[in-house]
Chains A and B, each alone.
Chain A
């Protein structure tokens, strides 16, 4: 099941599968920590609908839908209770894939 990052519901945890290749944007996103295999959460939406805040590697990043659309993710089956912050991905929580 693949989604583009901007499509997942608020509060949803997901794993990054793929980032559209080799544009300055894709490198910038990866430098900020959005790399394949990382856990990411769409946390909130700006009042005018865009951009959204994503939590990744312990920091909060604001991305526009049009930019987040370059990122493919697989939603994780973690339901997040209303009003509770999802746990941030840590080194231990997300085992190293190799």
Chain B
């Protein structure tokens, strides 16, 4: 018999992804804000021949956001053998709304009541057998976080999958579906009458934390302080120390590789390709892994704790001026990590216009892969004010993005302000395993890129750098193929102060992956030796040109993966093309300005 399908359905933020990981052992990422599961994910349940499909978190079977449509379409077209509905016991009334709607569809169902331990701590209680009788479906109290009762849930699922449960309550609800939201909530009141108490202490800790973090006066200073802390950790002694260590390791491997190849009697070009070409590129990128990991760790903690949703709440007023809501804060802030998942997270925005504006703004939120370029240049040219320079770049990106969206949106008609209805989830301690999983997921992506795209690109760049247009070997990269492409591009960048062929081709490589900017520079300026790159750059760039180059990297179009995702989300090649053209223009114009201004400070 083929795999049978269980659909996992629940409200955003009720522990759905945690339960999914518990049941399947899959490495899925959760976040403590509405709408983490923007795409459908599936995996096999441990030791059972069932496929568990994790659907996006939804409040109801309506279609206000694309993610709700994903869930509804799945239930209607895929016809899962069983629905596993997970509900947050601490906000049961609201969670049961979806449950009742699902029951009205008349499909076999099991209800997992999550966070029962938290309910108990709040002083509340729930009579599960009674709830099961009233709903007419099996109800299992669980704690997805600690894994309590998950085994029992599996047993109940075993039963439900072999013989469909006798669901008399189901028939009642399915035969007379409620006509209005009001009616459905009235039914829920009746169902819960006398068997549920949410407990007086519910959310008290969250209230206390919110008293501080969303305080009328303190909220914004605290937010800025948190950002400052982030920058200090990443670019201050902790991050830079880790980077120095990574550089040492990469250097060691480089020497070791060189010696090993020497011993094996490798030819000149093989040794060069492996050590300077490939390892130079990959190693150059790996030295930035610690700082990237810190950035991702920080973003993951913000998501899991629930602070990200507060950011959305506090920022809503500012975002409204741009025709956005506070909800756009989440995908945009994620854009500081990586543009690709951030573009997918924009799906949680209900209105098409708001989604489009968010996607337009997103590439201006400097992604993590551009960070190595900033660190490299800032430490080479502005060692004193490193974090200030980098902070300034991030800020500039956001400002240019805002001006850009205002300009573009002025010309197209702007609809009414989108409505803003957002749940603020209770604060929860991020779990160690969850955080590590998050972090590993991101680092794995980075390492996978280093192992594939960057290996390929580094080899390609090395070849282009050592072959002349007539395909002869050369040690002089200026007459190589790369040199020729660069020479042709370079005059374009002359007015920006960095009209060298090396800079031009590095930028070109950055279109494939932003990490390739640094790896190309290492190979072009420092012959594949990462520790010499800073000195080499000081010789090749004037401080003003360095500023201009940084601004260009900040603003020019994102990598192909991000562009492809943005295109998919916008659903239009034309619009994406215009957007990227606009970014090139913006990058060129702002870099030019930055160069002219920087020349006043550091005359050439």
Chain A residues packing against B (C-beta within 8 Å): 24-25, 27-33, 35-36, 38, 43-51, 53, 55-64, 66-67, 85, 87-88, 90-92, 96, 98
Contact = CB atoms under 8 A, between A and B. Distances in A.
B313 A46 contact: yes
B313 A96 contact: no
A32 B219 CA distance: 26
Q: Ordered nearest first, which 3 A-B pairs have the shortest CB separation?
A: A30-B181, A48-B317, A58-B91
B91 A57 contact: yes
Interface size class of B (residues with CB under 8 A): 35 or more
A91 B313 contact: no
Contacts of B192: 91
Interface string B216-259: 11011000000000000000000000000000000000000000
Interface stretch (B138-146, B150-158, B196-204, B260-268): B196-204
A96 B211 CA distance: 32
Given A46-B313, A51-B313, A90-B197, A59 B91 contact: yes
Contacts of A46: 214, 219, 313-314, 316-317
A50 B90 CA distance: 27
A91 to B, nearest CB: 4
B210 interface: yes
Contact of A38 (B185, B217, B220, B420): B185
Interface string B176-210: 00001110011001101110111010111011001
Given A50-B316, A59-B94, A36 B64 contact: no
B92 interface: yes
Contacts of A29: 421
Contact of B62 (A31, A44, A61, A85): A31
B543 to A, nearest CB: 38
Given A31-B62, A36-B182, A58-B92, A85 B420 contact: no
Contact of A53 (B194, B417, B424, B426): B424
B216 A60 contact: no
Contacts of B426: 60
B184 to A, nearest CB: 9
Contacts of B190: 96
Given A63-B420, A96-B193, A91 B93 contact: yes
B525 interface: no
A57 B417 CA distance: 27
16 contacts: A28-B421, A35-B182, A45-B216, A46-B313, A47-B220, A48-B316, A50-B317, A53-B210, A58-B203, A59-B91, A60-B426, A61-B423, A63-B421, A88-B200, A92-B194, A92-B197
B19 to A, nearest CB: 19
B507 interface: no
Given A35-B185, A44-B210, A47-B219, A62 B92 contact: no
B163 interface: no
Nearest to A60: B424
A85 B207 contact: yes
Contacts of A55: 203
B60 interface: yes
B23 to A, nearest CB: 25
Given A50-B317, A51-B326, A31 B422 contact: no
A59 B94 CA distance: 8
Contacts of A62: 312-313, 316, 326, 420-424
A27 B198 contact: no
B298 interface: no
Contacts of B407: none
Contacts of A32: 59, 94, 421, 423
B413 interface: no
B215 interface: yes
A64 B320 CA distance: 10
Interface in B565-600: none
Contacts of B419: 24-25, 28, 64, 67
Contacts of A31: 59-60, 62, 97, 181
Given A58-B92, A59-B91, A30 B423 contact: no
Contact of B189 (A44, A63, A91): A91
A29 B182 CA distance: 11
A49 B91 CA distance: 27
Contacts of A47: 214-217, 219-220, 314
Given A48-B316, A61-B423, 18 more contacts: A27-B181, A30-B180, A32-B59, A36-B182, A44-B211, A48-B317, A53-B210, A55-B203, A58-B202, A59-B91, A60-B203, A61-B421, A61-B422, A62-B420, A64-B417, A90-B197, A91-B93, A96-B190
A66 B536 CA distance: 57
A55 to B, nearest CB: 8
Contacts of A63: 420-421
